[in-house]
Amino acid sequence: MILPQALPEETRRAMLNAVNLTRSFGNRQVLRGLSLTVEPAEIVSLVGINGAGKTTLLRVLANLLRPEQGMVRFGSYTPLNAPAEYRRHIGVVMHTSMLYDNLSARENLRFFSRLYQIADSDKRIRQVLEMVALNSRADELVRTFSRGMQQRLAIARALLHDPDLLLLDEPYTGLDQRSSELCEMLIRQAAADGKMVLLTTHDFNQAVAISTRVDLLHDGKISWSSPSAGLSGKSLRATFNELTVFSGSHKGHGVNT
């Protein structure tokens, strides 16, 4: 893979590496020795049924949840030896927006810019608001925003500190066509800039369309992985069915074609 030469050498060498992750909730083991690598300029779609552990994995990778076993590393940083530096390289969009309803869009971003100690934060806030097409609504309260607008602002929050890795949990859920197209453009631009993108979805067509690689999560592990080139939603679904047909675990659990 050829990476943009303008990137700093350290960034071009860095990658996300997760090894042998396990995580349980009560008696239910959600992650079972899962290993995963994401390299610069990759867009990896993680596909699995609802409840397969996609959100749990992203929460572990974002250092929002501790694994019981295993290791996560970004370049030379881990959540254990350098948690602040590790988080600084990561932008996260989860099911909840992590925004404050009673603050405006600009005030939300100003708050997060202080957390990340962003220099010239007003300029950066204007940049990300323009990127997500919310500059005209910057001073309106978040509670007045539609679902699509809140999701776009959550993406702006995730991009604010210019992270090297984006973790996106079902980023298209509830978005209208305009917001979906904007979200896709931002994901593609991030990868073109050499960033790593790991997103979860249960939509096979969407996974193939947006990604450079598709990983299937089943039974707590990455059961299958392939470059997306040459794949279709139909062929990906057929592969998924082959992996899960004996367990029957995909029936009625929100896998889309």
Q: Which residue carries 């996260």 as its tokens?
A: 92
pTM equals 0.89
* pLDDT 10s digits, 3-26: 333 434 444 457 999 999 999 999
Q: With DSSP H G I counted as helix, E B as strand and the rest as coil, what are the percentages for the chain, rounded to 5? A: 35, 25, 40
The band of 49, judged by pLDDT with boundaries at 50, 70 and 90, is confident
Of the segments 175-179, 210-214, 238-242, which one has the largest average pLDDT value? Answer: 210-214
pLDDT of the residue at 255: 55
For the ranges 32-41, 80-89, 156-165, the lowest mean pLDDT is seen at 80-89
Residue 91 has pLDDT above 60, yes or no: yes
Residue 2 has pLDDT above 50, yes or no: no
From residue 235, alpha-carbon distances to 208, 209, 232, 238 in Å are 10, 13, 5, 5
Q: To the nearest whole percent, how much of the chain has pLDDT over 70?
A: 90
Interval 151-166 mean pLDDT: 95
Q: Please give, one letter per residue, the 3-state secondary structure of the chain.
A: CCCCCCCCHHHHHCCEEEEEEEEEECCEEEEEEEEEEECCCCEEEEECCCCCCHHHHHHHHCCCCCCCEEEEEECCECCCCCHHHHHHCEEEECCCCCCCCCCEHHHHHHHHHHHCCCCCHHHHHHHHHHHCCCHHHCCCEHHHCCHHHHHHHHHHHHHCCCCCEEEEECCCCCCCHHHHHHHHHHHHHHHHCCCEEEEEECEHHHHHHHCCEEEEEECCEEEEEEECCCCCHHHHHHHHHHHHCCCCCCCCCCCEC
**Residues β-bridged to residue 90:** 165
DSSP string, 75-132: TTB-TTT-HHHHHHTEEEE-SS----TTSBHHHHHHHHHHHTT-TTHHHHHHHHHHHT
pLDDT of the residue at 248: 54
Interval 161-176 mean pLDDT: 91
* pLDDT 10s digits, 186-202: 999 999 999 999 999 88
Q: To the nearest whole percent, how much of the chain has pLDDT over 90?
A: 76
